[in-house]
Amino acid sequence: MYAPTPSRFPPSHVPPALWPLMDALAGASIALARRIARNGVDEHLGALAGTNADGDSQKALDVIADGLFLAAARAGGVAHYASEEQEAVIELDNGALALAIDPLDGSSNIDANVSVGTIFSIYPAAADPEASFLRPVAEQIGAGYVVYGPQVGMVCSFGAGVQRYVLDPEAGAFVLADAAVRLPDEVAEFAINASNYWHWQAPVRAFVDECLAGTEGPRGKNFNMRWIASLVAEAHRIFVRGGVFLYPADGRKGYEAGRLRLLYECAPMAFLAVQAGGRATDGRGNILAMSVHSLHQRVPFVFGSRDKVQRVADHFAGRFLGEGG
């Protein structure tokens, strides 16, 4: 399990009250990265290990990651811990912080050696454990993600821009790679699972149709379509080079309100996107204007470069009925 080690994370851009938690999260991330790198040597991390609080299949690595980050939360001054892998909030100590976390995003990709990640969000702790999380998501005081890929990277924000860090495996610590991440606008890429096309709402189809129409369509240029099935991997590409990610609601049973969790996935990614000059919406409203009403609440989610997210929102508002669908 995670044992606190100082100086795993540089303190220069972190509010002093949050640095012990960030250092603890960095240590847990490093431990998890090492475990992932040895998948198949010591254990099978992609093996089924039951179901989580919301009925989704759990892999062995989901459970391992949750344990590592729970231990980090205990070491980092967290009073209340809410995890996608837990049914209810876990009360820890008398700390001043609340941590919401998706310990292992993209676990279906573990055995395929595709990037997976961790997503986290920090709030001031409330007196009541659930009240620490059932609140407006604009009350986040920090958010970030870790991506476990060819590089292990962490992207985070504490409300004053976005920073990107890279793990130096020899030093066993994260180093600052970009102190001011900004989302570019002029990138012709979008990410969506096109196999669900016939289940989408008309505005989503219209947006994708005009992108696929290329230079002959209303956008007047060719687009590339991406889909990795790992939110963190998709997000990291977007934060590095721009674009837009869509996981909309659709007509299938269980997908009527989308599939991504507001608390653990959409809220922290929206916080990062806006801090980097981008935008995040459910199609009709600003994600950061929403409130969490249940721990595992799901919402449709679109985020990325401002111009492309705005184009999706414009389709939902019916502004292009005579142009491209």
Within the chain, where are the H helices?
19-37, 60-75, 202-212, 231-241, 267-275, 306-316
What is the pLDDT at residue 6?
Answer: 58
- In CATH, what is the architecture of 189-316? 3-Layer(aba) Sandwich (3.40)
- pLDDT of 51: 63
Q: Residue 121: how many CB atoms within 10 A of its CB?
A: 28
Domain residue spans of the chain = 19-178, 189-316
Q: Read off the pLDDT of each residue in 65-86 and give the average, rounded to a whole number.
A: 97
DSSP state of 99: E
Give the CATH architecture of domain 19-178: 2-Layer Sandwich (3.30)
Output b/e per residue, 39-67; b: 16+ Cβ within 10 A: beeeeebbeebeebeeeeebbbbbbbbbb
Domain 19-178 shares a fold with domain 189-316 = no
- pLDDT tens across 224-246, in order? 999 999 999 999 999 999 999 99
pLDDT tens digit sequence for 263-275: 999 999 999 999 9
pLDDT of residue 139: 98
Q: Which long-range contacts (CB under 8 A, 24 or more apart) does 123-128 make?
A: 123/97, 123/98, 123/99, 124/96, 124/97, 124/98, 125/78, 125/79, 125/80, 125/95, 125/96, 125/97, 125/98, 126/80, 126/98
Question: What is the model's pLDDT at position 29?
Answer: 98
Cα-based angle 170, 172, 178 (whole degrees, multiple of 5):
95
pLDDT value at residue 324: 36
Q: What is the pLDDT of residue 323?
A: 43
Q: What is the pLDDT of residue 195?
A: 96
- Quote the pLDDT of residue 52: 62
Helix 306-316 and helix 202-212, axial crossing angle in degrees, nearest 10: 130
